[in-house]
Chain A
Amino acid sequence: MIILELLSAVFLILGLFFFFASAIGLLRFPDTLCRMHALAKADNLALGCIILGVILRQTDLLLVAKLVLIWVITLLSSATGGFLLAQRIRRKSLQTSE
């Protein structure tokens, strides 16, 4: 039990670290596309770590499945949303250059 709680704590701290790194990237990267790298990647891993940390403290399988589903849906929407945002930026930069 203590090992599970320790592992859970490790994943929760890792998750916080990646969220922190993502926020730092958002502030420090020079342009929108670079900032999207931080949002599309570090955030997903951070959420995955937090969810894994929470799952290790759960005994209810249905709740575990719900947490995994949340992560999967976030991953799908993040990848698709990131691609759509990048396309929007591309169109806007094309319009500006015309």
Chain B
Amino acid sequence: MPPAEPSTAPPPSAPRKLPRAIFTFAFGLVLWKVCTGYDPESWVLGIPAAGLFTYFVITGAEDGPRIRFRALPGFLVYFLVQSFRTGIDVARHAILTGHQVNPGFTQYRSRLPEGSPRAVFANMISLLPGTLSWSLIDDIHKIHMLEGNPLAYEELAELEARVGKLYGIDLPELPS
């Protein structure tokens, strides 16, 4: 039975594009400032560059769920903790196990909608200990595993739920 469609927030309407454009332009200016430092003459290029950045972000953006900035700090903490766990896991395998690793593949059916959330999930799979995103065809993520991990499915489901929360998506229950 196919999984139920997740409930997502409605796409933002056209009038909401203006505040988004202003926010994106301000973000572009901050990025320019960070990259170029204290040189005031650089704004001759910086302001048009921030304008172009805004244009490409606004015109290239898909209509669909967007990242909720309120959910970002919690996700970043999760990301940092997982990065640390993952780094230690790989270091342990590299130094202690080395040639004796027992790699394999597994599959995971995503409950996230197509587009940005699913792509972020595919990228983040590589963040979990022992898993590397190998392909994404429709809603099936094929995953390379460094070593068999019985908790991998639960960890993938938790990561998926966190990506969903980041986008404000309520995921349906996992099929038992």
Interface residues, chain A, CB within 8 Å of chain B?
17-18, 21-22, 24-25, 28-31, 33-34, 36-38, 40-42, 44-46, 48, 62, 65-66, 69, 76, 79-80, 82-83, 86-87, 90
Contacts and interface: CB of A to CB of B under 8 A. Distances in A.
Interface centre among B87, B93, B130 (most CB of A within 10 A): B87
B94 interface: yes
Interface of B: 31, 33-35, 37-38, 83-84, 86-87, 89-91, 93-95, 98-99, 101, 103, 122-124, 126-127, 130, 132-136, 142, 144, 146
Nearest to A48: B83
A25 B93 contact: yes
Given A83-B133, A86-B133, A62 B34 contact: yes
B132 A37 contact: yes
Chain A binding surface SS class: helix
13 contacts: A17-B91, A21-B95, A22-B94, A25-B93, A34-B101, A37-B132, A40-B126, A42-B94, A44-B87, A79-B123, A79-B127, A83-B133, A86-B134
Contacts, number: 101
Given A62-B34, A82-B133, A41 B103 contact: no
B143 to A, nearest CB: 10
A69 B132 contact: no
Nearest to A86: B134
A69 B34 contact: yes
